[in-house]
A = this chain, B = another copy of it.
Amino acid sequence: METASREAMVLAVNESFYRAFADRDLAAMDKVWARVVEVACVHPGWAPLYGRDAVMESWAGILSNPSSPDIRCLHAQATIYGEVAMVVCYEVVERGYLVATNLFMRESGAWKLFHHQAGPTSARPADPATPGQGSKRLH
């Protein structure tokens, strides 16, 4: 498969992660995360979480919390590294912007999330009104 097609597939799965988040859909969130390889997650300001149980427990809490922010993803950039795909993107929340790193690996033919880290940024994405995705920027 061409690199561009693989990146587009990864970006689609990345978008499904943010859709599950925005929809407060724990079942959809569960489907996004890997089941075979080890998973980890660094929510903004939290200690690192290791293991699927701890990560999914965190999402159950976040998605059921009425004060959890609305969120959308901007300027997602996908790069393939062998069997691993990395997406770096902005997250737009009510109080500002974060930057996230999301890592995916294929399980049973589908890209699955195995790591997420998000943290606050004082940077402002160019043209935040446009939720476009793109392939990686060139050097």
Interface segment among A12-20, A25-33, A43-51, A63-71: the answer is A43-51
Q: A99-B117, A117-B99, A139-B38 are in contact. Are A47 and B81 (CB under 8 A)?
A: no
A118 at the interface (CB under 8 A from B): yes
Within the assembled complex, what's the spacing in Å between the Cα atoms of A34 and B138?
Answer: 16
A contacts, CB < 8 Å to B: 37-38, 40, 42, 44-48, 50-53, 77, 79, 81-84, 86, 88, 90, 99, 101, 103, 105, 114-115, 117-123, 125, 136-139
Could you list some 30 contacts between A and B, CB below 8 A?
Answer: A37-B81, A38-B79, A40-B79, A40-B86, A40-B88, A42-B88, A42-B99, A45-B119, A45-B120, A45-B121, A46-B121, A46-B122, A47-B123, A48-B77, A48-B90, A50-B88, A50-B137, A51-B138, A53-B139, A81-B103, A81-B105, A82-B84, A82-B105, A84-B84, A86-B115, A88-B115, A101-B101, A101-B117, A119-B119, A120-B120
